[in-house]
Structure formats: structure tokens, C-alpha cells
Amino acid sequence: MLKAFKYRLYPTEEQATLLNKHIGSCRFVYNLALETKQTAYAGFKTNLTCFDLVKQLPELKKECVWLKEVNSQSLQQAINNLDTAFTKFFKGQADFPNFKKRTARQSFQIPQNVRVEDCKLIIPKFKKGIEVKLHRLLKGTIRQATISKSPTGKYFVSILCETGETNKSKPEIKEKSTVGVDLGIKSFLVASNGETFSNPKYLRTAMSRLKFVQRRYSKHKGKKTKHRLAILHEKVANQRKDFLHKASTKLIRENQSIAIEDLNISGMVKNHSLAQSISDAGLGMFVTMLEYKAEWYGVNILRIGRFDPSSKTCSICGVVNKDLTLQDREWTCANGHTLDRDVNAAENIKTFALRDKV
């Protein structure tokens, strides 16, 4: 089983400068490889492979001497990442690769020769080691590492390890041990067993402060104000991630099978009235957490189609209310059953998911 362990790095000033050079150089090589690949195809209908682009690196280093300061394997990995991006695009799993910006996520990968000794991360070009805060035990054999820099200037390393563990076998799907989960905005999560997680709305809570700092940044554009803005956004992101981890772990530990709806998050975000609330809730991140934790702990994840009328169907008698709108939080079916919209949806999600399973 592969698991990633993320730790905070505390580089010296000299090490931080070299880390920044790695980040910038890998971004430069990625963008140059993308431009070269596009130009070759547009001008000569030639499809340059990953190996063709990697072979050009030695000549590129002669022209851009500063690239020699950077770990060559990290530069090659940047080209491999571009090749993976194109593969996903042609399979219909992602959009066409874009050029990386300096303002986007800053990171680079080390595909091998990664060690952790005496609370120091040892990688190529950093023989003395970078101080790392090992707040939890690193388990397994190290495969690779990714070093990233946050907008607030903090450095982190994510170490991918082969733990030697096997995924737990999943139990038989039964109605009693299955819970239906309805995800939303007003209530973040409503389960068919009556459990509810209210939506903390961290971004909305911090919005007044964010707007104040944003106005100062737009007027003065100072580094201190920009840094304060980044700190506020980082706090909101950390709060959201902490909440999602706790909610997903609780669901996984207490249930053997979890039924969820196949939500079209990218499509939902296009609704300008709900985009901010949907992004603040972190629904996509929550589903991702459920999926990988389910693999770790042997829990079944059941899905229903995004067009199944889970909200509009009465969970008691099956009558469909085609006139139901988003504003209707409670409704009464044609047979007189009064229903809470979210609880009713959660029960229907469970029923629909078990239709062909039990």
C-alpha cells in the first residue's frame, strides 16, 4: 500500500534559495517542453515523446548554465509530468495542459535518492540535509518525495512510501450496515441514520477580514499586506481540511458501506450564485478523502447517478415531486407525508444504491 506522509521543512536561508531555484527551474523546463511539443506538432506534425524531450536537456544546460545547480532527475520528472498530463488529456480524463505560472502551486519532485536521517531530509544537492519536523512516524520504504512552497513562504515535503500493508478486504454489502449520505451547502452532510454535520462555512466567516485586507492590498500592493492576505487564506484552507478529515474519518470508522451521489462538482461551480458556497464546503475534496480512506480500511463506497431524483422522490411511498425547487427545504408528497429535504435525499440515496446490491 502506498501512503504519503507530509512534514514541515525548516531550511536555512541558503537552502531556501536553492529550493526556490529547483521550483523555478522545473517550472521553466515544463513550460519549455510544452512549447516545444506544441511547436513541433503545429509546424511539422511531429509528436515529440517524453524521451525526445529528455534528450534535449544536456544541450539546454549548455545554453542555460544555471540549470546545472538543480537536480537533473527533478528536471526529467517535470517532463514526465507533462507527458502524463498529455496522456490524461487524450484519455478524456483532464483538460489540455496549460503553462505553469509563478503564482500557481510551487513544487518539484525528487523521484529517487530520498532519505530521512536524524530529523533531516537528505536529497540530491542537499547533502547536509534539510531540517524536518517529524510530527508522526514515517512508515515503509521511501519511493519519492515532493517539496512544495506555500503562498505564505512555508516549505513542506510529501514523502510517498510503500508501507508493505495490504488493503483490508471489504465486507458484504448489507442494508443494516449501509448509510446514505446527502452532501449539501446548508447542512454539509446529512446521513440516513439521522447524523448531521453542519456546514462551518469558514470562508464566509473570514470574509469581512479578507475583504478589509484585500482592499489594502489593492491600494498599496505591499508585500506585507499580500503576505497577510495569504495567511488568512491559508488559515481558512487548513480549517476546512481539518473539518473534512474529521468528518470523513468518522463516517469510515462507523460504517461498513457508504452510499453517495455522483456529484458534478465542476458543473455546480459554474453556477455563479452557488460557486463560492460550493468551493467553501470542499465537497470534491471530501469525496476524495472518503474514497482513499475506504480503500485503507475496507469500506464499500456505493454511488448513484447524478440524475437520480433522490431529493424529489418520497422515501416513504415513492411519489415523485417534479415541482420541487432548491428553496423547498420541507415538502409534503401527494400522499400527505411531510419530508425534510436532506434527510429524505439521504434515505433515497441509500435505497437507490442498494437496489442492485442486496
Residue 7 lies in a domain: yes
**Same domain flag for 187 and 291:** yes
Strand 196-198 to 178-183 pairing: unpaired
Give catalytic status of residue 342 as yes or no.
Answer: yes
DSSP result, 191-209: ETTS-EEE---HHHHHHHH
Nearest-angstrom CA–CA distance, 194 and 342: 10
Under the banding of pLDDT at 50, 70 and 90, the label for residue 140 is very high
List pLDDT tens digits, range 23-36.
Answer: 999 999 999 999 99
Residue for cell digits 454535520?
Answer: 197
| Number of compact structural domains in the chain | 2
Give catalytic status of residue 118 as yes or no.
Answer: no
**Same domain flag for 196 and 275:** yes
| pLDDT at position 135 | 94
**Percent of the chain residues topping a pLDDT of 70:** 99
Mean pLDDT along residues 299-326? 87
- What is the sign of the dihedral through the CA atoms of 260, 95, 270 and 204? positive
| pLDDT at position 358 | 58
200 phi, psi to nearest 5 deg? -70, -25
In Å, what is the CA distance from 79 to each residue of 86, 148, 149, 347? Answer: 11, 18, 20, 47
One of 83, 280, 342, 347 is an active-site residue; which one?
342
**Same domain flag for 89 and 134:** yes
One of 83, 261, 280, 347 is an active-site residue; which one?
261
**Percent of the chain residues topping a pLDDT of 90:** 65
| pLDDT at position 280 | 87
**Same domain flag for 139 and 196:** no
Which range, of 3-17, 28-42, 67-81, 325-339, averages the lowest pLDDT? 325-339
Contact in structure between 284 and 274 (CB atoms under 8 Å): no
One of 83, 182, 280, 347 is an active-site residue; which one?
182
Q: What is the pTM of this model?
A: 0.85
| pLDDT at position 266 | 76
| pLDDT at position 270 | 76
Question: Which residue range is the domain that position 194 belongs to?
Answer: 178-202+245-354
Show the beta-strand stretches assigned E in the chain. Answer: 2-10, 106-110, 115-117, 120-123, 126-133, 141-149, 155-162, 178-183, 187-191, 196-198, 257-261, 300-304, 330-332, 338-340
Residue 211 lies in a domain: no
**Same domain flag for 92 and 123:** yes
